[in-house]
Amino acid sequence: MNFLCAFLFAGIFCLVAEVILDNTKITPGHVTSFFTVLGAFLGLTGLYEKCITFAGAGATTIISNFGYMLYKGAYLGFQENGILGLFSGLLEYSSCAIAGAVIFSFVLTLIFKPKD
């Protein structure tokens, strides 16, 4: 059941993205930014934690989770250190995801060649 919930949750996000991309002139960068902001907003309202409980990995592997991580890090940093904690918590909580994206992107560019 966990696999089905994860598949459906992430699949709905992908479906919405494809519908937006196919029916509007919005670029993939705009859709990515929208989902990142949506993840932060859902984190602010407390709904994203419920989504993670429901969908598990389906909610933690998509781009909206990055927005949620940014929100969560800023919130925890603010609770610990005040205004300056917003920035330190933001980087502390999401640095693993950022570093992983950079490292995996670099490794994949070494393995695969772009089309000319």
Q: Classify residue 42: in a domain, yes or no.
A: yes
**pLDDT reading at 95 higher than 90:** no
Q: Classify residue 34: in a domain, yes or no.
A: yes
Report how many domains make up the chain. Answer: 1
Q: Classify residue 107: in a domain, yes or no.
A: yes
Question: What token pair was written down for 18?
Answer: 């494809």
Q: Classify residue 116: in a domain, yes or no.
A: no
pTM: predicted TM-score of the whole model, two decimal places = 0.81
Residue partners of 44: CB distance under 8 A and separation at least 6: 71
SS3 62: coil
Model pLDDT, residue 31: 93
| Helix 47-55, helix 2-23: angle, nearest 10 | 120
Rounded CA gap, 90 and 75, in Å? Answer: 8
Model pLDDT, residue 16: 93
Residue 64, H or E segment: helix 63-81
Model pLDDT, residue 116: 60
Domain range for 70 is 2-111
Q: Classify residue 27: in a domain, yes or no.
A: yes
